[in-house]
Amino acid sequence: MSPVIKEFRLPDLGEGLTESEIVAWHVAVGDTVELNQVIADVETAKAVVELPSPYAGVVAKLHEQPGTVVEVGSPIVSFDVPGSGGHSTNSPDASADTNDDDAPPAKREPNLVGYGAAVEKTGRPARRARRSSGAAEPARAAEPVGAPVMAEAPQPSVPAEAQLERPRSTPPVRKLARDLGIDLTALNGSGPQGLITREDVLAAQGGSGQEGSGEQGSDRGVQPAETGGAPASRMSGERETRTPIKGVRKHTAAAMVASAFTAPHVTEFLTVDVTASMDLLARLKTSRAFADVRITPLVLVAKALCIALDRNPTLNSRWDEAAQEIVQHHYVNLGIAAATPRGLVVPNIRDAHTLGLRELADALKGLTETARAGKTSPADLSGGTISITNVGVFGIDAGTPILNPGEAAILAMGSVRKMPWEYQNEVALRQVMTLSLSFDHRLVDGEQGSRFLADIGTILSDPGMVLTMV
C-alpha cells in the first residue's frame, strides 16, 4: 500500500510543561527510523530528555530547527510510514494524518511517547541502539546549535551493515561538541564503555578539560577553572552579549520570583563548632563498613536535618492556597540544589528519612552524578518537601537562600573553616561552619524554626547527642 504521512506533534513531556526547546536532531530528511528510535534531544524547563519516534518509517520533514522553542502540540516532524495497519496508528497526544486508511486500527501498545505503532504478534518492539548514516551526513555532529536544517531530497535507506553506531555521550556533551564545532565521531571516549565525556570534548578543542560541571549539592562543587596563565579578558570584542531567557534559567527565574513574592521569608543563622563531626568523617573513611562509600559533610548535614525534622514537623509542610489548608508531610523528599551546565536544578531524594548514613551517601552520589550528566528526569525535580543548598563548596560562609516553591524551609550550609573558638573555657583552633535557614513564616513560627536549626547544630557539634533525640 502507498505510504501515509504521519505528523508527530511535541508531546507534554511531564509536569504540565507548555513548551520545550529542540536541542538537536539525530535524524535528517530521508532517514529511515525504527519505532522508539531516539530522533531528537529536547530541553524542557527542567531537564534534557531524549525524544523517541512513535513510528517506523522515513523522515519526510523536520518542522523545527535546533534552538527553537516549540509549544506542546506543535508539529515537529513528519514521517512516511507504510500504509498497512501495522504502522499507521497515531500517537494520541501528538499525531495527525493527511491520508487516513479506512481500515479499523490495530490494537495499540504504549511506546516511549504515548501510543504509537501497533505491535506485531512477536511482541512489543525493543528499543534499538540509535543509529545514523555515516555516508549520508558525515559532518552533522559538528553542526552548531541553531544552524538551519536544510531540506534534503529523500535518500535511499542504508543497509544495516553499512550503518555506524552513534558515538555514546550525554545530551549536554553533544551540545557542547556542537557549540565548539567538535566532531564526536572522531573522538575516543574515556568514560565507562567508551562514553565520550565533557573532558574529551574540551581536550579535542585544546582546552584544559578542567572546566567542571560540578554540583552545588556536593563538596566536589564547581570550582574556578585552573589555568596556566592569566584568564582571557572578557572585556574585548562586542560590547555586550544577549542570551535568550529559556530552559532552566527561565523556569528558575519564574519559580524564584513566585516564591520570593508569595512566601514571607525569614532567615536565621547559626555558627557551629563541627570539629566532632569532621573527626567522625575521618573515622568513617577508615571504617570497613564505609570503605567504598564517599561520606561528605553534606551527608552528615542531610542526616541531621532528617532527624531534626522528626522533632520539628512544621518545617516539613506546605501551604495549599487553593484548598486553604496546611499540608503536613509524613515523609521527607530531600531536595539538593545542584549547579549544572544547564543551570541550577533541585532534584530530590525520595523518602530520605528512611535511609541510613550509607544509603543516604549512595543516593547523594547518584543524584549529583545524574544532575551533572544532564540526565535528571522531570519527575525527580518535583515533589520535594525541604531542601539543602551547599554554598560552602564555593568558599561561601552564609547566605539567605530562597525557598523552593511549595516547601516550607531550605537550609544553606557554609564552608568548614578553622577558626579561633571558645572550647572548654579556652581559645582553641576549631573547625567551624555557619548554617543559614530560610523558612516560610506563614507555616513556621520563629520558635519552631529556631528549635529546628538548633537541633541540627547540636547534632553536628556533638554527633553523640543523636541518642537523646531519637
- Please list the active-site residues: 441
Rounded to an integer, what distance in angstroms lies between the CA atom of residue 352 and that of residue 2?
Answer: 55
Short-list 63, 66, 56, 68, CA closest to 31: 56
Rounded to an integer, what distance in angstroms lies between the CA atom of residue 369 and that of residue 102?
Answer: 50
Rounded to an integer, what distance in angstroms lies between the CA atom of residue 200 and that of residue 172?
Answer: 13
Q: Which three cell numbers stand for residue 305?
A: 536535618
Residue 14: left (phi > 0), alpha (psi -120 to 50), or beta?
A: left
Q: Which three cell numbers stand for residue 143?
A: 553542526
Alpha helices in 373-422 (DSSP H): none
SS3 assignment, position 91: coil
Q: Tell how far CA 340 is from the center of its chain.
A: 8
Contact predicate 90/99, CB 8 Å: no
Rounded to an integer, what distance in angstroms lies between the CA atom of residue 440 and that of residue 270?
Answer: 18
Rounded to an integer, what distance in angstroms lies between the CA atom of residue 109 and that of residue 134?
Answer: 32
Rounded to an integer, what distance in angstroms lies between the CA atom of residue 21 and that of residue 346?
Answer: 20
Rounded to an integer, what distance in angstroms lies between the CA atom of residue 250 and that of residue 106?
Answer: 42
Q: Which three cell numbers stand for residue 127?
A: 528499543
Contact predicate 146/66, CB 8 Å: yes
